[in-house]
Homo-oligomer: A and B are copies of this chain.
Amino acid sequence: MAMIGSYCTVCKKRESFFYRKYSGQQLCKKCLSESIETKVRTTITKYHMLKFNDKLAIAVSGGKDSLSLLHILAKLQKYRPKTTLVAVTIDEGIKGYRDEALDIAIKNCKTLDVPLHIVSFKKLFGLTLDELITKVRANKQTELTSCAYCGVLRRRAINIAARAVGATKIATGHTLDDEAQTVLMNILRGDIARLSKEKPATNQVHPMLIRKIKPFCEIPENESALYAYVKKITFQDTPCPYASEALRNDMRAMLNHMEEKHAGTKFTISRTIEKLRPAIEQITIKEDFKICKECGEPSAQNYCKTCEMLHQIL
């Protein structure tokens, strides 16, 4: 909590707005947002996220994280004039939720003068997420969560959208919180392959799979929200009506509780896994990509997960 009447420990001039517990700093609005922008810049350098002439597709959902990211990357372009930006938004087809998000994405991109490319589940896969979930529930194929279905299709859609606009990299708004949650989820599920590959800047594993970067991987989620607030960014803050990742919710609650007690816990988890990652990569079997016999997209199996899922449902 910022102490009323206390001053920013960075500029020593303006009133404190936010107490950053893990660093012990009191920060004014200006120094807070500048420190977040600087952190994103150093994260991009640290993980070699961008080459000087990359065309970067920013996956914009309309939520606070992806929009704060969009605004910061647009601002950082002055340091990287050869990097071109384009936003991609996936219209999963969720009535009463996605329409608002699309409007918000369009407005933000217009303000920042970043071109926006929208791709829909309906057009790509022949059905909206609403239709898909209705079918799944009717067939009682409920061993997977809605997020599991949506995740597979959305990852595919983002990759197709990024390729369509000629992007060489995809940036997503995953925060430090997402990273720490994912690490624990992968350990609890015993998913060593994902522990290995879900890193701040993914490897190039197939020419048709655009590499992904996470410039917010060291930004706590609450600071991403504060950035949007300070910069008066309009974002969608209603949660997805299908949000159902029970395990992630458990990990989120536990980590927030731990962070409250021991400030810096999320950073520690992230640093720990980054130290271990090279060793984990060594023992992980490299996936050998082929072309899916159905859709022609890269796949570890003869048929890709997307086609397998759609076959099961349709």
Contacts and interface: CB of A to CB of B under 8 A. Distances in A.
A258 interface: yes
B189 A268 contact: yes
Contacts of A272: 187, 190, 192
A257 interface: yes
A254 interface: yes
A221 to B, nearest CB: 18
Nearest to A186: B272
A187 B183 contact: yes
Contacts of A275: 192, 283
Interface string A261-272: 110010011011
Interface in A230-259: 246-247, 250, 254, 257-258
A184 interface: yes
B192 A258 contact: no
A258 B269 contact: no
B261 A257 contact: no
A300 interface: no
A160 interface: no
A282 B276 CA distance: 10
A190 B271 contact: yes
A147 interface: no
A189 B271 CA distance: 10
List 4 tightest A-B contacts by C-beta distance, closest first.
Answer: A279-B279, A190-B268, A190-B272, A279-B283
25 contacts: A183-B187, A184-B187, A187-B187, A187-B269, A187-B272, A187-B273, A188-B265, A188-B268, A188-B269, A189-B268, A190-B269, A192-B275, A192-B276, A195-B276, A246-B261, A247-B258, A250-B254, A250-B257, A254-B254, A275-B283, A276-B276, A276-B280, A279-B279, A279-B282, A282-B282
Given A276-B276, A278-B283, A282-B282, 15 more contacts: A184-B184, A184-B187, A187-B272, A187-B273, A188-B258, A188-B262, A188-B268, A189-B268, A192-B275, A247-B258, A250-B254, A254-B254, A276-B279, A279-B280, A279-B283
Interface of A: 183-184, 187-190, 192, 195, 246-247, 250, 254, 257-258, 261-262, 265, 268-269, 271-273, 275-276, 278-280, 282-283
